[in-house]
A and B are shown apart, each in its own frame.
Chain A
Amino acid sequence: MTLRAVIIMALGMVVAITATPLGHWLESTMVSHVLVELPLLVVAGIIFALPLKPVSQPLLNWVNRGGICGLITASFLLAFWMLPRWLDTSLGDPWVASAKYGSMVLTGMILALSWPSAHVITRAVVKIEFLTMFFRLGWLYLISPERLCNNYLLTDQIWLGRGFLLVGLALTITWAYPILFGNAVLEQQLTERKLSID
């Protein structure tokens, strides 16, 4: 599949979410809103950034060295839309909803333009902070005595809390397994051999 086709598909996905009943359907429960719709938009953003990478690299070397600035910005964008207040408001206010869609796509683009240049320690810190955040949010949503969003039921919230914990667990396993049981030295050698053959 060509890059162009992938981008068109991502664009189709964004349009489907923002301008068709699909978005409304995804937003009808908190779990699908937060754990399906928002990540899909981020993925679309990552895809949109693919052709931008070579063009923007000289600028990025100046303003986004090591991906630090971008990763900070992306973290704050995600944090902002994790505020129950704005997630809730986005459901009734089309302006806020557009800001949310735009922020998520932008987050994906920033991530894609920052991650490759990020140092391995930076990546590890981001990953750990990310999965820790899932555990924190999951716990908070499970113990919240009242509804955090006026548009969602308390049971929705509890399901999202469980979802957060599950995603946190899945990320932990996915990220920990290779560093525990993989073989980075062998992979490095294979990559080098492949490069030399190429």
Chain B
Amino acid sequence: MNDSTAIAPMPGSSKLAILAYLGISALVYVLMMVLGLLMRMGQANWLGLPADLFYQIMTAHGAGMVGISGLAGSAVMWYFLRRYVDLTVGILWANLAFFLSGVVLILGGIFLGGYAGGWTFLFPLPSHGMGLWGPVGAACFLGGLLLIGVGFLLLYLDVARAIISKYGSLARGLGWPQLFGNSDETPPPAAVVAATMVLLVNITGIVAGAVVLVLILVNLFMPEFEVDALLTKNLIYFFGHVFINATIYQAVIAVYEILPEYTKRPWKVNKVFLGAWTASTIMVMAVYPHHLLMDFVMPTWALVLGQIMSYTGGFPILVVTAFGALTIVHRSGIQWDMPSGLLFLSMFGWAVGVVPAVIDGTIAVNNVMHNTMWVPGHFHMYLIVGLVAMLFGFKYYITGQDGKPGMFDKLAFWIYSLGGVGLSVTFLISGYFSVPRRWAQHMPEWVGLSQPAALMGAAVALGAAIFAIRFLTSLKHARAV
């Protein structure tokens, strides 16, 4: 709202599409949380979960959470970006169609084809099902990812087209003339800057993903083409890390747009803000080697880069956003309701969630911590209390549920946020005590940690379920703009 451009009302179809994105994501989040809960209950010995099913569920949980976060994040971006540039509704629908077809293939590959090699499909796992899955199951999973990638590619190309035709180029979308030159033109609004960064990193990531996915598919059916395991791992983590990172950089647009509405203060796009987003564009693409710190065959410079980028990469946007949010809220007399509360909670989850990642990004620590529950502790904090809180804040906002929150909403807020923090902390404590990640069966001495984790996981799922129901039952009040 800090731009002089008149706000174009969303035509009916685009409103429906955005609500479809958000409704589907609300349901899938709850479903995927239930899958997470099942895994934790299995580890807590409260549920007899066969190991093969555990790994199928783990694969579905990972792929599902990453995919749906991408979908929900892109809906937030699209919704606000449309206030400034002319986006194509048909493409928005096409992405959803590709996404849903991909989901069908992925679920088929996992639960019918038996694929359980994790969402990161590390080579040569897809071709080594050891009798649990064959090439067809793995191919369905990989093909599903490919379809989802095509959909997102369409969406980001449309965003790129819209930004370029209004601002001239992507560098201008990032505000480079204002950042590096002495241009006294008004810089693009925060939503445009963020969307430009996201489309740049995500298109690059999707291209890398599309190359490596096809190569692994070729290998499935023609095993004589042996791809280099280290190169594929680099490309997979480049693509995967960029994609999951970009979800929060899309969702954060909600903070830039909604908090100014609440506080009646504009979100300032200054050189520091522009510099932070430009720096992060590079850093988000350069940080992925911190997933490979234990691969001793990696060149040292890449690992050092991974550590430096882990220390610095997450911060620029986080700092300008959290600081900007604090200054905009400070003494503004902001009304605390569900949207503003959840958005503010997300700032906390994001900031706190980054800390364990920075610790794990230290090579010496990583060597003993990376394959423990410490890392899931980081990303569960970052995603549950950060990203998903942000998204549900937006869902409350778009369905017009601002103003004084009801008792259920308040209850759900506290159940969800305390459960989310608690679940992440149990992960982190488990990691501290070297409990390995990705183990279906836990040793007796770890069960004491898995049981409270299962309880916390149940709380998160319950809170999210209430959020989802409140969203779905309020759809008729959805905002037109």
Contact = CB atoms under 8 A, between A and B. Distances in A.
Interface of A: 120-121, 124-125, 128, 131-132, 135-136, 139-140, 143-146, 178-186, 188
Contacts of B210: 132
B207 A143 contact: no
Contacts of B225: 140, 143-145
Interface in B189-236: 203, 207, 210-211, 214-215, 218, 224-228
Contact of B211 (A132, A146, A179, A183): A132
A132 B224 contact: no
A179 B160 contact: yes
Contacts of B169: 178-184
Given A124-B157, A132-B207, 15 more contacts: A121-B158, A124-B160, A128-B153, A128-B157, A132-B210, A136-B215, A139-B215, A140-B215, A143-B225, A143-B226, A144-B225, A183-B168, A185-B165, A185-B167, A186-B168
B51 interface: no
Given A121-B88, A128-B153, A184-B165, A179 B227 contact: no
Contacts of A181: 169, 171
24 contacts: A120-B161, A121-B154, A124-B160, A125-B153, A125-B154, A125-B157, A128-B203, A131-B207, A136-B211, A136-B215, A139-B211, A139-B215, A140-B218, A143-B225, A144-B225, A146-B224, A179-B160, A180-B169, A180-B171, A182-B168, A183-B168, A184-B168, A184-B169, A185-B167
B172 A183 contact: yes
A32 to B, nearest CB: 24
Given A132-B211, A136-B215, A185-B168, A145 B226 contact: yes
A98 B236 CA distance: 41
Contacts of B164: 179, 184
Main secondary structure on B side of the interface with A: helix
Interface in B265-319: none
A143 B219 CA distance: 11
Nearest to B161: A120
B166 interface: yes
A131 B228 CA distance: 21
B224 A145 contact: yes
B91 interface: yes
A70 B250 CA distance: 35
A131 B211 CA distance: 10
Nearest to B224: A145
Contacts of A184: 164-165, 168-169
Contacts of B157: 121, 124-125, 128
Please list the 5 inter-chain residue pairs (A to B) with the smallest Cβ-Cβ separation, ordered nearest first: A183-B168, A185-B168, A124-B157, A135-B211, A184-B164
Contacts of B207: 128, 131-132, 135
B226 A121 contact: no
Contacts of A144: 224-225
A176 B154 CA distance: 16
B197 to A, nearest CB: 13
Contacts of A185: 165-168
Nearest to A138: B211
A83 B161 CA distance: 34
A178 B153 CA distance: 19
A121 B91 contact: yes
Interface in B318-346: none
B106 interface: no
B170 interface: yes
Contacts of A146: 224
Nearest to B232: A139
Contacts of B154: 121, 125
B61 to A, nearest CB: 29
Given A121-B161, A139-B227, A184-B165, A179 B215 contact: no
A152 to B, nearest CB: 17
A121 B88 CA distance: 10
A188 B172 CA distance: 15
Nearest to A182: B169
Contacts of B88: 121
Contacts of B214: 136
Contacts of B168: 182-186
A162 to B, nearest CB: 15
A182 B158 CA distance: 18
Contacts of A178: 169
A125 B160 CA distance: 12
Contacts of B165: 184-185, 188
A95 B211 CA distance: 34
A129 B214 CA distance: 12
A128 B203 CA distance: 9
Nearest to A141: B225
Contacts of B166: 185
B365 to A, nearest CB: 34
Contacts of A182: 168-169
Nearest to B170: A180
A188 B166 CA distance: 11
A148 to B, nearest CB: 10
A146 B222 CA distance: 12
Residue with the highest number of chain A CB atoms closer than 10 Å, among B88, B172, B211: B211
B148 to A, nearest CB: 15
Contacts of B153: 125, 128
B171 A143 contact: no
A178 B226 CA distance: 36
A124 B154 CA distance: 9
A184 B172 CA distance: 10
A35 B166 CA distance: 37
B161, B165, B218, B227 interface centre (most CB from chain A within 10 Å): B161
Nearest to A188: B165
A186 B224 CA distance: 52
B91 A179 contact: no
Nearest to A168: B211
A140 B217 CA distance: 12
Contact of B228 (A128, A143, A180): A143
Contacts of A136: 211, 214-215
A124 B215 contact: no
